Amino acid sequence: MKIAIGADHAGFVLKEKLREKLARDGHAVRDFGTYGPASADYPDYAVPVARAVASGEADRGILVCSTGIGMSITANKIAGIRAALGTSPEEVRLVRGHNDANVLTLGANFVSEPDALSLVDVFLTTEFEGGRHARRLMKVADLERNSTGRHAPERARK
């Protein structure tokens, strides 16, 4: 499988461990950075990973920051991305099986390395179930296509 991976400074160490394991397992891994522990902005890594998945260049994406939330919010701004924070194997199984999540985000400050490795395994081996779930995702895709593109109210930007 082709995997796009990225992290900010808070997720750098965990990203490196995940990247190494994915490569050992035979996956083609494209690392979008960061490449060291110096302070970095998570959108700079979430966007290229999400674009690689949305374009089909990668089959799935994995993003790591301190909480996983910033990466998830950012990745989900890219059309076609269904990024989900993973905190337990059952949750990851459901976001793949029911929501066809194509990007997994992890919070390096809240998940151990062994647990992160396990979550990634579940993410990569769980198939989308289709059926009623596909109908729901079609509604999400329609919403994405028909969005007004209007900016958030000023009060939300503060």
Residues annotated as catalytic (active site), given as ranges: 65, 98
CB atoms within 10 A of CB 141: 13
Q: Which tokens sit at 58?
A: 């990668």
Q: What amino acid is encoded at 111 in this protein?
A: V
Residue 48 gets the label, from left (phi > 0), alpha (psi -120 to 50) or beta, of alpha
The H or E element that residue 31 is part of is strand 28-31
